[in-house]
Amino acid sequence: MSTLSKELENLNNPALGAIAIWRFVAGYESGSETKAGAPFPLLFIILPMILQPVILELMKSTFKPSGLRLFANKFAEPATAKNDIVYSIQKRARDMRELSMNSLKLAIVSDLVSIDVQSGLVYPISVTPLKRSISKEVDEMLRQAEKLGAWCSQVTLHEISVILQMEF
């Protein structure tokens, strides 16, 4: 197996996705004034965003208090000029739907998250970060997933769809 194939296999791993979903949901709950769970449709934006290197880099360069709007505005800055990346999130979410669902299933059976079927909200079972040593790259992805969750908790689902140019 080539190095590139191995890297793709590692990134398209439901276990990594499950942990990313868990950190996103934990970030959402901690960022929410009411400690609300994350709306189910948001679970499909996590992997398309943290597995896209350009988006991940811009997330890393945006402070947590700045929020989702300031993050998205970076794509339109003349120095960055990557508006097409924002528009591609919708397609990437569709393309990665199966991986996202498999990751969610694994997160549920691993007792990382639970879904309130009445409200459609997803809650973390634990908010304690991982204690095991993980690679620097994976740790960075998880921190950005948590930050994304906190950003999303500060705006409505409609605002997220407008900011990220997506339909839910």
Examine the pLDDT at 7 and tell me if it is beyond 60: no
Tokens of 16: 């990594």
Question: pLDDT for 132-149, tens place per residue?
Answer: 778 899 999 999 999 999
In the chain, DSSP assigns E strands to 38-39, 113-116, 121-124
Examine the pLDDT at 162 and tell me if it is beyond 50: yes
d(CA 10, CA 69): 30
d(CA 12, CA 90): 18
Question: pLDDT for 102-141, tens place per residue?
Answer: 999 999 999 999 999 999 999 999 888 777 778 899 999 9
Examine the pLDDT at 4 and tell me if it is beyond 50: no
Helix (H, G, I), strand (E, B) or coil at 50: helix
Examine the pLDDT at 63 and tell me if it is beyond 80: yes
State which amino acid sits at residue 95: D
Examine the pLDDT at 77 and tell me if it is beyond 80: no
